[in-house]
Amino acid sequence: MIDVKIDISNALGFVSMETIRSLQPAISQSHLSLIEKTGKGNNFTGWVQLPQNTSPDFLSTIEQEALKIKKIAEVVVVIGIGGSYLGAKAVIDALSHHFSSLKSTWESPLILYAGQNLSEDYISDLIEILNTKEYAIIVISKSGTTTEPAVAFRILKDHIKKKYGKNALKNRVVVITDKEKGALKKLADDEGYTTFIIPDDVGGRYSVFTPVGLFPIAVAGFNIRKLIAGAQLMQQYLTSQSGMVVNPAALYAATRNALYRKSFTTEIFVSYEPRLLYLAEWWKQLFGESEGKELKGIFPATVSNTTDLHSMGQYIQQGQRNIFETVISVKNPDKTIIVPFEKENSDGINFLAGKRVYTINHKAELGTLLAHIDGGVPNLVVEIPSINEYTLGQLLYFFEYACALSGYLLQVNPFDQPGVEDYKKNMFALLDKPGFEEESQKIKKRLLL
């Protein structure tokens, strides 16, 4: 049995089970479209069978190459943006010690990131750190020409040359890119970098179970075999049946779409574990980029509680009633901390003495859920027993499959992102990129430059 469980009971006061069940025919058709590759964007549905198609030998190759990097680097910089880094960071952060950067001894390299922004101060600070560390880089891009990672790669490649010498590049650069085409593929071939392939039929935000996610996760010291095993189990479970009674991804997709049709147009991903912050960011990109098109889509937002109960809690409780929440509930934490008793009780919390911090956190979760329901906010709860590679593999595939079903319910292509290109055209024109001369004149006139 799978470990991921979904509870929609706290949404049924806002949308009826009958309404949710009425979406079963559309869910079944969407399920069939994914399995048979007949739906919109079917040329990017390779992720559906990917876990089962991942061989032990392939995982061994990744582990062996990761070991080579781990032997020479105390820091590894992952260069990528969007799906090229969010999946890896979601898993690595979820599995890491909260203060791993401060631990004096660590068996695996510290993973840092570049190419996910264009901040000059960020890159400068990163180089300041890399000046004092033994490091390597993993650059992830299908094309090699996406501006943010391309700029970061050029800068860090130059830094490696200056710090270690040109010949060091072969040992300190790993490339994850297209099988046959693109600037990065050509560069990797020309300069002899170790290369892993991004499958042609898997888009960035669905790529966590490709080398895009697996290689950085392995370098970070985590068990990619357990991650894939969890994903394989979830794949078997979800792809074999479309009925909402037995398929939790189908139930989640149908419920959120039923709420959307009732004008609940914003979904807030809620976690009570700080380690899941980037799982939320990964989820946000997955659903936002998959559904937000043709003037449709549920707007994805995130909060990290209980921290955000003291900032966004007020709005969620009493703001516009167009929001619903999906709460990730972790049943068992890894560690135990007990609140001590103090005779003076000056802070007034002796009623908590002897209780685990987890118990307090969980009661805060339950109390918040009830308060938000009473305030007019439907809640969906996705429960996992603990945070580890196996459950994360299940959870990530669960959301991927649910997202694809949900996109098809909206009658959009869940696997493209045409709107992402619009800002790039304007940016290239403003930067006087060759071939954008006409657009450059027009946009500079608009901005009075």
Active site positions, annotated:
289, 310, 424
| 248 touches 5 (CB < 8 A) | yes
DSSP 306-350: TGGGGTTHHHHHHS-S-EEEEEEEES--SS--BPPP-SS-TTS-G
- Positive or negative torsion for Cα 363, 364, 368, 371: positive
The tokens of 299 are what?
A: 């707007």
Segment holding 114, helix H or strand E: strand 110-114
Give the distance from CA 84 to its chain's centroid: 10
| 375 touches 369 (CB < 8 A) | no
Cα gap 251→230, rounded to integer Å: 20
The tokens of 56 are what?
A: 């032990």
Closest CA to 397 of 31, 23, 50: 50
The tokens of 266 are what?
A: 């914003």
Cα gap 117→387, rounded to integer Å: 28
Cα gap 98→82, rounded to integer Å: 23
| 353 touches 341 (CB < 8 A) | yes
Segment holding 147, helix H or strand E: helix 147-164
